[in-house]
Structure 1
Amino acid sequence: MNGRIFVVLGGLSTACALNALAACANNDAGASDTAPADVHTVPVPTPDAGADVAIADASPCADSSSDACVTTLDCATVDFCSSPFPAARVISLNSIWGSAADDVWAVGTHGAIFHSDGGPFVALASGTSDVYFSVWGTGREDVWTVNAKVPLHSTGFQNGSATFTPQPGSSWVASGASSGRIWGGVSTSASNVWLVGDPSSRFGASSSFWRLGADADGGAAWKAGNICPPDQFYCSGSARSLWGTDEANVWAVGNAGYGYRVDDAAAGHWKQLDTKTSADLRGVWGSSPNDVWAVGSRGTIIHSTGNDVWKVVESPTSRTLRAIWGSGPSDVWAVGDAGTVVHYDGQSWAAGTIGLTPSDAPSDLLGIWGSGPDDVWIVGDGLILHRTAMSRRHS
């Protein structure tokens, strides 16, 4: 089967998904009849069920001056290849996380909760049509997710199923959850769990940061964090993504270039950071407290090597980047709109490649996680991509 490789350098807007069944997880994309910029989209022969790799001989393009050429490729020539999607493509997967290569979770719209034991994902019955925005945890028996209103916790995948139980805590105020979303969370340990979102009073005092603690009776209670400078009584700001290594080292990013770092975890105080950008920031990740990255709108990539000093780094894309993950300081991936994948090799960022079956389309990519450099998953609008030991190498 022949495939077509697109190498498109334009900057036109694209639909959230070209597949008629795919749904948008965000509302800031337009439409276009052209292949998307900033990604090399390579349809490949449909793999056998459950396989991520289709074997074929690669052949060069006959006319390298053309913006598209017909060739036959296998997944060894691209960075990521499509993996079986276990439900209707109307589902958008917003987030992915795992405790190990054989314990991976993905969540999204229409109540989607998927699990992989190292093979193709399976869809679990959630019993709801709620939208899940994020999934994270510390191990197989400590898994969190959030819908728009409340966090939920699971003790993991056991006997072919999993149960996620709402964890509103004793500080919960139902009327305060009627506005503003919870967007994400992070656990640096089972006892250090943070949530971020839009400002609300769902857990008592108005805030957009909440840490899991205990009330006077020893019960679970979410406690509002404080992002105000010492000389400011009230301030407001939303956050979209969190990453951290321990109680003293947690970062958050949000709209308009806002960045934060935990200043006093016990007191729930966060320090506002000068990120050197006004772009909306959507994802944050680091290999250590002295190597932290964040990505966002217009292809923005920023980097900190410590001491709360950030700089804007040259990006190979103008597409919105929505998530970032790496196996180490010289192997970092970021993903975003219209199938955009970019890679950092320790020196610079460059566009990545994805291989799609004829039934797939380069939709918006919303989450990324891996257990190591040769086991990396990407999820998005009706699409799951996987990087394995057989994928294209980076020097």
Structure 2
Amino acid sequence: MLPSEGPSDEPSFVPDSRDDGGADGAPREAAGPCADCEYFPDECTPDALCSNGPFDPGTAGGSIDPVRQIMVIRGRSASDVWAAGALGALVHFDGTSWRRLEPGSGETLRALWLRDSEEVSLASLTRIYARGLHVDGGAPPSSDGWTFHKATPPPEYEFSIQFYIHLRSGWGAPGAASFWLAAYDGQQDAGLWRLRLSPSSTFELGPGIASDVCATLRCGQMASIHGASANDLWAVGMAGEAVRITNAESDTPSTKAFDTQTWNALTGVWAASASEAWAVGVAGTVRHYTGDPDLWDVVSDVPTNEALNAVWGSSASDVWAVGNAGVVLHYDGTSWSRVKIAGLRGNRPKLNTVWVASPGHVWVGGEGVLLSLGGKP
């Protein structure tokens, strides 16, 4: 992996225009004859993904500018869904409609930690926006009650976090004390981090895995993290790495590297259970963990060669993957198939994130789009 192939974010406090739509701020258009029109019908149908706010006019709080990207979608339930993204985009779905919120910043938001009674969104490992936390002092809240917080890393990492270590994604199980973070470290030895909230409502950041261990396991350039429980997580990385973290809530988590049988970048992971997980990545790469002590299985019947950026599911027989050029795939427990997206006309947006509440309740976000199955909640 060459350094130029990793994330090229500007410093985290500067909005990155590359997180917008196309080079001119508009969604990209398909070039030449349409070879994939069957997957992009004009009319919404129950089996197609369709627009479902908050880019739609009339969204409460104002619609999101279509040049922005949705980077992450997470939820507590089908009636409590959050999405965040480029240039401070932040919205909430209450089961009926979307509402745009003002976090108080134009930073790109890359991770969401939905705690029992607070919401937390991260722009970087140390730059945090939260709602529902009561902390004395600091900046006043935004019009929607969000406040800025700064997590202080160990002194030896302050320089690296500012210049070399870039947040890619995060995961915290419901009720967990820890929010685990996957990061791309240009020095390749600090790609897994852990964020905790102290009793005084300050954020404590530290390496999830010691740098010497991470260097050995090749977990310095992580792209995605997810777990079947608070204590059993998977992280995948930019050279096909897959690292399992057990006892993740303890002070001394255990780690093991697995062989995914690829050097391709793996950019999304979702764990269905302790014995089953899926990972996706560039060039249509899909890997399936089924309980082997060392290996992930190669999946060859994938109907795309496009880069896949994220994966999520509601069960082992309801798994969704999304990627570049408007590609959406679904696994029904037997095989993967393409899913249609309606109403895009010639656009083929990059899709960054997917979240599934239950069968039929699917949200997909990316360049200027937020989609749901049949256009319904």
Paired residue for 2:49, among 54, 59, 80? Answer: 80
**For the residues of structure 2 that align with 1:134 and 1:231, how far apart are their CA atoms?**
22
**2:72 corresponds to which residue?**
95
Shift in alpha-carbon separation, 1:38–1:255, aligned structure 2, 3 A: farther
Task: Verify the 8 A CA contact 2:82 2:93 in the aligned structure 1.
Answer: yes
2:308 partner letter: L
C-alpha distance in 2, partners of 1:300/1:235? Answer: 19
Q: Measure, in 2, the Cα distance between the counterparts of 1:186 and 1:38.
A: 36
Report the 3-state secondary structure (helix = DSSP H, G, I; strand = E; otherwise coil) of the residue aligned with 1:148. coil
Q: Is the aligned partner of 1:152 residue 2:137?
A: no
Given that 2:277 and 2:288 are in contact with CA atoms closer than 8 Å, whether structure 1 keeps it comes out as yes
Judged with a 3 Å threshold, the aligned counterparts in structure 2 of structure 1 residues 155 and 190 are, in CA distance, closer, same or farther, namely farther
Q: Which residue of 1 aligns with 2:136?
A: none
Letter in 2 for 1:103: D
Q: Which amino acid aligns with 1:154?
A: A
Structure-2 change in CA distance of 1:138 and 1:153 (3 Å): same
- Aligned partner (choices 168, 176, 191) of residue 190 of structure 1: 176
2:40 paired with 1:41:
yes
Match of 1:292 among 277, 302, 321: 277
* Preserved CA contact (<8 Å) 2:88 2:109: yes
Verify: 1:226 aligned to 2:202, yes or no.
no
Question: What amino acid maps onto 2:171 in structure 1?
Answer: V
Structure-2 residue corresponding to 1:261: 244
Which residue pairs with 2:328 in the alignment? Answer: 341
Q: d(CA) in 2 for partners of 1:119 and 1:154?
A: 24
Match of 1:378 among 364, 367, 371: 364
Q: How do residues 1-395 of structure 1 correspond to structure 2 at under 5 angstroms?
A: 21-22=25-26, 32-35=31-34, 40-44=39-43, 74-76=44-46, 78-84=47-53, 85=55, 86-139=63-116, 141-152=117-128, 154-155=130-131, 161-169=144-152, 171=154, 174-179=158-163, 180-188=165-173, 189-199=175-185, 207-213=190-196, 220-226=203-209, 237-265=220-248, 266-308=251-293, 309-314=295-300, 315-356=302-343, 361-388=347-374
Amino acid at match of 2:167: I
Residue 103 of structure 2 contacts residue 129 of structure 2 at CA under 8 Å; is this kept in 1? no
Note if contact 1:135-1:145 (Cα within 8 Å) is conserved in structure 2.
yes
TM-score (norm: length of structure 2): 0.77
| Counterpart Cα distance in 2 of 1:260 and 1:39 | 38
CA 1:344–1:170 in 2, change beyond 3 Å: closer, same or farther? closer
Structure 2 runs not aligned, ≥5 long: 1-19, 56-62, 134-141
Indicate the structure with greater helix content: 2
Decide whether the 8 Å contact of 2:119 with 2:130 is kept in 1. yes
CA distance in 2, matches of 1:18, 1:183: 21
8 A Cα contact 2:219 2:241, kept in partner: no
Mark the CA change 1:232 to 1:93 in structure 2 (over 3 Å): closer, same or farther: closer
Q: Is the 8 A contact 2:27 2:347 kept in 1?
A: no
1:226-276 deviation line (CA, Å, top 9, x unaligned): 377879779662111110133431010110101111145332442221111
Give the whole-Å Cα distance in 2 for the aligned partners of 1:104 and 1:214: 22
Separation of aligned partners in 2, 1:385 and 1:19 = 23
Q: CA deviation at 1:341?
A: 0.6
Q: Relative to 1, partners in 2 of residues 1:22 and 1:115: Cα closer, same or farther, differing over 3 Å?
A: farther
1:63 aligned partner: none
SS at match of 1:319: coil
Quote the offset at 1:120 in angstroms: 3.6
Q: Residue 388 of structure 1: CA displacement?
A: 4.9
Q: Deviation at 1:119? A: 3.1
CA RMSD, 1 decimal:
3.6
Give the residue type in structure 2 aligned to 1:192: S
> In the alignment, residue 26 of structure 2 is paired with which amino acid?
A
Q: How has the CA–CA distance of structure 1 residues 176 and 17 changed in structure 2, closer, same or farther, with 3 Å as cutoff?
A: closer
